[in-house]
Chain A
Amino acid sequence: MMIINLLGVALIVMIVWWFWLYKPQVVSADNNTVTIVVDNGTYEPSRIQLAASQDTTLRFVRKDASPCAATVVFSDIDISEELPLNKPKDISLPPLPSGEYLFSCQMQMYRGTLIVNRNGE
């Protein structure tokens, strides 16, 4: 029983680490443009690095038919857009101050982060 309990505790630690503590790889914007694929409940890439004070275009390609995926919301900068299925949708972002900006579906199940740095590094 002790082993099972230890396994259970280890599983809990893994859940905490995997979903909350671990930070996935960050993708940088080339020429201020990033393509984000919306598929199977995720944004890929989900962590995107942008340079501060520059216009950026995010090109969303939604392959996920679920209506949950149909809207992307950038609540911090008051932008929300409908994403057509299997068609690219460009969203232009104004120059943003340094910081982290979440974007998500309406229900917060699909989640991504824009990381804006002063020098884009």
Chain B
Amino acid sequence: MQLTDNNVLKEKQIHSPERITYLRVHNASCASCVNKIEGALKGVDGVQEATMNLAQSTVSVTGGAPVDNLINAIKSVGYNAEGITDTSDQSVLDEKEKADEAYYQRLMREMWIALSLGVPLMIYSLVIGEMTVTTTTERVVWLTIGLLTFGVMFFAGKHFYVGAWKSFINHSANMDTLIALGTGTAWIYSMFVVFFPSLVPEMARHVYFEATAMIIGLINLGLALEIKARGRTSEAIKRLIGLQPKTARVVRNGEDVDIAIEDVQLGDLVRVRPGEKISVDGVVLEGQTAVDESMLTGEPMPVEKAIGDEVVAGTVNKSGSILFRATRVGKDTALAQIIEMVKRAQNSKPPIGRLADLISAYFVPIVMIIAVVSALAWLNFGPDPRIAFAIVSATTVLIIACPCALGLATPMSVMVGVGKAAEAGVLIRNGEALQTASKITAMVLDKTGTITLGQPAVTDIILANENNKSSVLRLAASLEAGSEHPLALSIIESAKERGLDFGTVEQFRAIAGHGVEGIVEGQSLLFGNERLMQEKGIDIDAYVEKAQEMAAQAQTPMYFAVDGKLAAIIAVSDPIKSDSIEAIKRLQKNGVRVVMLTGDNRATAQAVAKKVGITEYFAEVLPDQKSDKIAELQGQGEIVGMTGDGINDAPALALANVGFAIGTGTDVAIESADITLMRGSLHGLADAIAVSKATLSNIKQNLLGAFIYNVAGVPVAAGLLYPFLGLLLSPVIAGAAMAFSSLTVVTNANRLRLFNAKNH
């Protein structure tokens, strides 16, 4: 029976993509409630399936029944319920796009309404003649046009006036205030001229209805185009959100069932076939495959996955079919966290934007004051008709000023820049990290796991007594069994490869930065560096030269002593990442001072540094001394970036001006650094710096453009050039300039989308 039900369910879910409605049920607390509620829902017309999750007090209903009917059915059996809004990133994004599209259409409609009056009036004024009121017929004609203009103001510009009024009563002022005041002043003055021409000097009997209609039309057009341009600035986040699959195929009662992604529970077994997206994070239980993680890490080569390996949501299964256990679902998946982090960073502001914010806050009232001062100046000192000049200059000042260009300058560039970095597998925490990264002058690289793969292996064993290599390795591995240090792991791994069994370690003690000690099978063991041996009084003189030779070949020699006597030197080598040399060269080419930091001995450090082209390094640095080295560089006036894999690096990462956490694959330390590199390659550092520099330069262009536009535009609009050049701007020109100034800022920010960090 169960099997049949499941088959039916599977059939429906796979082949009939019916609407699923989610409801939250209140005061249902027992298993019998579940049957009652499910039964009541199944009785509603249009419901095909109803499944309640008692733990979450939610019910999912498959079918096309209206939500109200479902709620009433639940109420009829004595419980309360409400609809749950789908708050997934995709649905929020879809709704935002729908709302933006509707707003765009509205603005375009309003633009046509306004321009259909404004353009003929403009042509009339340019081609046929002055728009003056001298005869009674003209008064009637202009009154009619004045009323038509009022219609335009109502149908196409109502949002400006309502916004301005609402802001005014809330003691604030915004762009609506300026547009409403500018167009309102022009219209009221024109109507005054129409009604009371005798109260206005003859030369000033001019109407400005074309200005009102044109300004409303042009600004609506500018806003509409800005919406489209803004949509493009969030393409990167859209792409990330689009990676999230909508369904998952889970194994329930031995059957594969397609369910909504929101219904996947921790521990669910999820099956993924070749070519499909991985739906949630998990650990592979069956099968092996290659997974394309490039969309998250920027790493183009597919990554091999076998039993025990982690897979993450949003990546694509390329070759084999796998079964995995869900370990992170919903908002906890790496992809969801990355989306959250990118969204947060896109909305944060770098310090460079603070001045613009401060100016924006006072901008509109200042422009209003300038408009009043300008009108007074024309009235007091201007040529005739003074009143007309005063009205034109005040209107033009109000219309040309564009607080939006200033306000948009920083956030639009940050939006595109942070998104661009995310596409390259670089997660930037916030605007401040972005700005500081653009100024980095020195980059400190931890050796192990950053320059090298962090997977050391035993490469040589030099015996110092009659022991054989296997017995030395067996004792060393037994001693290290409790340690998680990468070097210890290499010893253990090597012993396992030789099939050696391990003894039990007693009195184990790790001596930070030196090594370890303990007792195995009654023998007192010491394993560590030269310093440890010297401190413990072990004679190593005869082998120091040999150890130095090993170090010069970029191996790390470690001394192993048994019962107070040197037994062997075990050399371990950690391969350098294939692209470290090239990436370091790229950093240096861009003027960054690259410094290596390692706890390893000086000779090994020197050998590795030489191999990768680094001339400066700090060797034999104890974990707690790493931050001292950062401070030392900062003391020399450097803006320091520190890159580490998160092990023992936290204080140094925190102290550095910018801390970079380097991940391998999608195993990222998202919360631990200013900038997280999703892939192990050091090219991510150069990419991060290049994107930051490009973004900051884009912000500067935007800010400079917006400042110059306003600083130059407002005085010109006020008529500052009139005494010298006889130039006074038309309010229509001001309207066009204003509408397109913010569009220019958004378009310039969009240029960043074409930036390719790899070329820098």
Contact = CB atoms under 8 A, between A and B. Distances in A.
Interface string B713-750: 00000000000000000000000000000000000000
B313 to A, nearest CB: 21
Contact of B369 (A15, A78, A84, A107): A15
A101 to B, nearest CB: 14
Contacts of B365: 15-16, 19-20
Interface centre among B170, B361, B365 (most CB of A within 10 A): B170
Interface string A42-67: 10101000000000000000000111
Contacts of A1: 379-380
Interface centre among A1, A4, A67, A73 (most CB of B within 10 A): A67
B411 A84 contact: no
Interface in B86-107: 92, 95-96, 99-100, 102-103, 106
A104 B360 CA distance: 11
Contact of A107 (B343, B372, B376, B404): B404
Contacts of A8: 372-373, 375-376
Nearest to A11: B372
A80 interface: yes
Given A42-B166, A42-B170, A71-B347, A65 B96 contact: no
Contacts of A107: 360, 403-404, 406-408, 411
A85 B99 contact: yes
A86 B411 CA distance: 24
Interface bracket on A: 35 or more
Contacts, number: 124
A20 to B, nearest CB: 7
Nearest to B361: A108
A73 B357 CA distance: 12
Contacts of B85: 87
Contact of A106 (B102, B159, B162, B411): B411
B564 interface: no
Interface in A71-121: 71, 73, 75, 78, 80-82, 84-85, 87, 104, 106-111
B173 interface: yes
Contact of B347 (A12, A19, A67, A106): A106
Contact of B348 (A16, A65, A78, A109): A78
B285 to A, nearest CB: 37
A107 B378 CA distance: 32
A114 to B, nearest CB: 16
Contacts of B227: 67
Contacts of B360: 107-109
Interface in B337-377: 343-344, 347-349, 357, 360-362, 364-365, 368-369, 372-373, 375-376
A84 B166 contact: no
29 contacts: A4-B376, A5-B380, A8-B372, A8-B375, A8-B376, A15-B372, A18-B171, A20-B365, A23-B171, A40-B167, A41-B164, A42-B163, A42-B166, A42-B172, A44-B170, A66-B103, A71-B347, A81-B347, A84-B92, A84-B99, A87-B85, A87-B95, A104-B357, A106-B408, A107-B404, A107-B408, A108-B360, A109-B407, A110-B174
Contact of A40 (B95, B100, B162, B347): B162
B44 interface: no
A20 B99 CA distance: 34
B674 interface: no
Given A8-B375, A67-B227, A22 B100 contact: no
Nearest to A83: B96
B171 A41 contact: no
B430 interface: yes
Nearest to B172: A111
Contacts of B343: 80, 82
A8 B369 CA distance: 9
Given A5-B380, A67-B103, A19 B375 contact: no
Contacts of B380: 1, 5
Interface centre among A22, A40, A110 (most CB of B within 10 A): A40
